[in-house]
Amino acid sequence: MMNHDKHITKLTVPNDISFLPVIHAYVTEVAKKAGFEKQSLNAIQLGVEEAVTNVIEHAFDPDQHETFDIICEPITLGLKIIIKEKGIPFDPSLLPRYDKERLETELSDKGLGLYLMQEFMDEVSFHNLGRDGKETHLVKYVSARTVQEYFHSAELETIKREQEQKAGTPAAPSYVVRLMKSSEAVEVSKCAFMAYGYTYTNEDIYYPDRIRDLNSSGKVISLVAATDQDEIIGHAALVIDDYDTAIAEAAMGFVKPKYRGHGCLNSLLTTLPEEARRRNLTGLYGEATTVHPYSQKASQKMGLRDCALLLSKMPAAEYKDIQSDSSQRRSYIYCFRYLQPPGPTAVHVPPHHRDMVEKLYAAIGMHQQMDVPDAAGDSGSAEDGSIKVSTTSTMTAKIEIISCGKQVVAEVAKVLKRLCAERLETIYLYLNISDPHTAAMTAACEDLGFFFAGILPGSSGKDRLLLQYLNNQVLDYSSIQIASDVGKELLAYVRERDPYQKPG
């Protein structure tokens, strides 16, 4: 069980490698308090050691005497360790890539530090804060039992037989839709496994402890369909957005295979907006696969409307009873619904995308004031600006422009080069459409190879424009299935702007 003590702590140390034991002791004690055990503690120590060494060697001159901070922030599923410094500007994209063969042939260990950080930690990211310096973020998650460990072997055999054979549909069960009890997290994970095996995109659902902790923290709000005997036959959830906590994703929807066809999933999904309103959320969004139209139609029934197309977001996967190109990575349509519209606000749209952006806003029932400045204008008054970079295990990356500045496009270009070298498949770029400098920033980033994906509406002042970059991918757009008319128009618009697609 996770420790829910959320105190953030900070240690300030000199840029002197001899203080490494002090850093080890500090991080180890905080990690113990967060619930980590011996093996993970060793990995955290080694990951932090490599990151700290990197900072001391690259951010400061040998004769420079400064200090930097180690910040430990407990998170819902583990611990985030932030190394913050104001040393010499340092570009992580220039760190050499570790080559195991080169180590064996040339005895060269260049790039080993970054490689070890990524091996020992679950997430590693670098953040340029402009005048506020730089941060290295290390994230480690507490190990948890996967759902299979909660099944008896006989149960697994039964599930396997049911998945291989089409069992007869039982009579419609009597059930109620209600909030999940903490003790039911195991049954929710079992339900997901029965429905999808291990193919569901959000792996948190397979860890009962994670589902319990995410609900306890309020980051996930699980609804279940429970029979009179309290059997959990279905699940759906609101997942609070990290960037905009006033909106939530409608996600994790599934029903045990033998209970499908009785409207259970529909009951769960139609209850989600009611629960979201009860919690005073501004909006609701979903991401539906484009391999088939069924989940898109379910989103439409909830009142969600298409406004962005996220290409190549997930690895290819087989869908039983559904014909698809299993060799192509999966794309998703992003759809949104306002529950409590914030009212019309000014959004700063690049002139060449104005018509499509207006259509997407109209589809969700909003008519924003389209402020269309000169796209060749400046990209921010600040000299530096700041960005945030993160990657996922599904070979995608996210670059968020936190604040515009004259050096941000150059910084994005450096990060893009590094991510492509690391063979990330797709890179998404998020721009705040409420920022008057976004128009110029968009045009400059499109010159780097990014192209239009759509809009991500949010609460007041948090709407974003989404661009995307495909790393040497030529997509077969004919295999992308879209259910709605506006979604089909968006698909054609995106395809026309994909630099890998031939005209006509």
Q: Summarize pLDDT for 105-141 with one digit per residue, the tens.
A: 443 344 456 777 878 888 888 887 777 888 889 998 8
Assign domain 346-497 one CATH number from 3.20.20.450, 3.40.630.30, 3.50.50.60, 3.40.50.1860: 3.40.630.30
Contacts of 255 (CB under 8 A, 6+ apart): 191, 195, 225, 233, 234, 264, 265, 268
Q: Read off the pLDDT of residues 364-409 as tens digits, 9 standing for 90 and up.
A: 998 777 776 654 555 555 556 788 888 887 889 999 998 888 889 9
346 bridge partner residues:
369
> In sequence order, what are the residues at sequence separation of 6 or more whose Cβ sits closer than 8 angstroms to the Cβ of residue 167?
257, 258
Most confident of 3-12, 137-146, 147-156, 271-280: 271-280
How far apart (Å, rounded) are the C-alpha atoms in residues 79 and 141? 6
The secondary structure of residue 326, as a DSSP letter, is T
441 vs 158, residue with greater confidence:
441
Give the fold, CATH level 3, of 9-141: Heat Shock Protein 90 (3.30.565)
DSSP, residue by residue, 191-216: HHHHHHTT--S-GGGG-HHHHHHHHH
Instruction: Please tell me the least confidently modeled range out of 92-101, 265-274, 308-317, 461-470.
Output: 92-101
What is d(CA 193, CA 198) in angstroms, rounded to the nearest whole number? 6
Is residue 41 classed exposed, middle or buried when 0-12, 13-18 and 19+ CB atoms within 10 A define those classes?
middle
Contacts of 449 (CB under 8 A, 6+ apart): 416, 469, 499
Is the per-residue pLDDT at 285 higher than 70?
yes
Report domain extents, the chain. 9-141, 146-269, 346-497
CA distance 209 to 145: 8
Phi, psi of 180 (to 5 degrees): -70, 140
Whether the per-residue pLDDT at 8 is higher than 50: the answer is: yes
Residue ranges of alpha helices (H) inside 107-206 are 112-120, 153-164, 185-196
- The larger pLDDT score, comparing residue 374 to residue 484, is at 484
Average pLDDT, the chain: 84
Which of 53-62, 103-112, 226-235, 352-361 has the least mean pLDDT?
103-112
Asked, colleague to colleague, whether 9-141 and 146-269 share their fold, the answer is no
Q: What is the pLDDT of residue 94?
A: 55
Q: Give residue 475's pLDDT.
A: 94
pLDDT at residue 3 in the model: 45
List the structure tokens of 185.
Answer: 């997290």
Domain 146-269 homologous superfamily, CATH: Gcn5-related N-acetyltransferase (GNAT) (3.40.630.30)
Asked if the model's pLDDT at residue 268 lies above 60, the reply is yes
pLDDT tens-digit readout, 412-454: 999 999 899 888 999 999 999 988 888 888 999 999 999 999 9
**In this predicted structure, what is the pLDDT of residue 77?**
75
- Which of 155, 152, 28, 131 has its CA nearest to residue 81? 28
**Which pLDDT value is given to residue 1?**
40
Share above pLDDT 90 across residues of the chain, in percent, rounded to a whole number: 46
